[in-house]
Structure 1
């Protein structure tokens, strides 16, 4: 029997999720405590929303967003990218992985998608359709 198991599901494996969450927490702690030797980065309040791992756990895509729009997201990503080696070192210290994952920083668009969803649900046509669906369900229950 082979020791190598491949994940054939459509989503990430439990190990990918677990490692991603550990990296997210570690990065959030490091950024919160301002442990990096970059005054510009330490002056920013950055939220680490999610970390997704590649199948081989060698690449971590980190989704970040500056709090309250304090700085442009591009500036935050540039500051994080400048300090990628030190951040990577801090992450590896807290984990027992065979390889130190390469950190790639991307803007977190979760809030933008949430705003778009709210806008869609407030559309009169959608409200009309949802109201008709509620009436259909009420009629079926009687």
Structure 2
């Protein structure tokens, strides 16, 4: 069976990356300016970390995080409630054949970075890392 170039393991195309970044910038600008007619959403400061698009560019998933990391569920609910207005704003700014359907997810990148940092600070991990630096143990000189 022939594999699709979009099958598991292959990364996004250059076009997907480019369109995702354009959508990310547009969403960030719209949210920053408070262009949406929802005072609850405009009161919230939301970071748009990444936007991933489907291979056909019809679905865009925005990974977002409210300032401070709190009120995550509320942020997702507000973005979902204003999805059509945000989609119209993206459509006005970008010249795409189809304006993608927007989906919103919490950006967990910062949480993973904190977990990694905490792991590297553990005594047993530091001991193992420090042992690898000893030239007599076969580590780097």
Whether TM exceeds 0.5 here: the answer is yes
Counterpart Cα distance in 2 of 1:137 and 1:34: 60
2:133 aligned residue: 134
Shift of 1:30: 0.2
Root mean square deviation of aligned Cα: 2.1
* Structure 1: segments with no counterpart, 5+ residues: none
2:60 aligned residue: 60
Counterpart Cα distance in 1 of 2:82 and 2:136: 56
SS at match of 1:134: coil
Number of equivalences:
137
Counterpart Cα distance in 1 of 2:75 and 2:6: 34
Cα-to-partner distance string for 1:28-81 (whole Å, 9 max, x where unaligned): 000000000001001100000110111111110101111024x51110110000
Deviates more, 1:132-141 or 1:111-120: 132-141
Counterpart Cα distance in 2 of 1:96 and 1:33: 21
Counterpart Cα distance in 2 of 1:129 and 1:85: 52
1:22 aligned residue: 22
Counterpart Cα distance in 2 of 1:102 and 1:43: 24
Question: Which runs of structure 1 show a deviation greater than 4 angstroms over 4 or more consecutive aligned residues?
Answer: 5-9, 137-142
Q: How does 1:23-102 map to 2 (within 5 A)?
A: 23-69=23-69, 71-102=70-101
Counterpart Cα distance in 2 of 1:15 and 1:141: 41
Task: Sort the Cα spacing of 1:135 and 1:45 in 2 relative to 1 into closer, same or farther, 3 A.
Answer: same
SS at match of 2:55: coil
Contact kept? 2:133, 2:139, Cα under 8 Å: no
* Structure 2: segments with no counterpart, 5+ residues: none
SS at match of 2:132: helix
Counterpart Cα distance in 2 of 1:34 and 1:104: 19
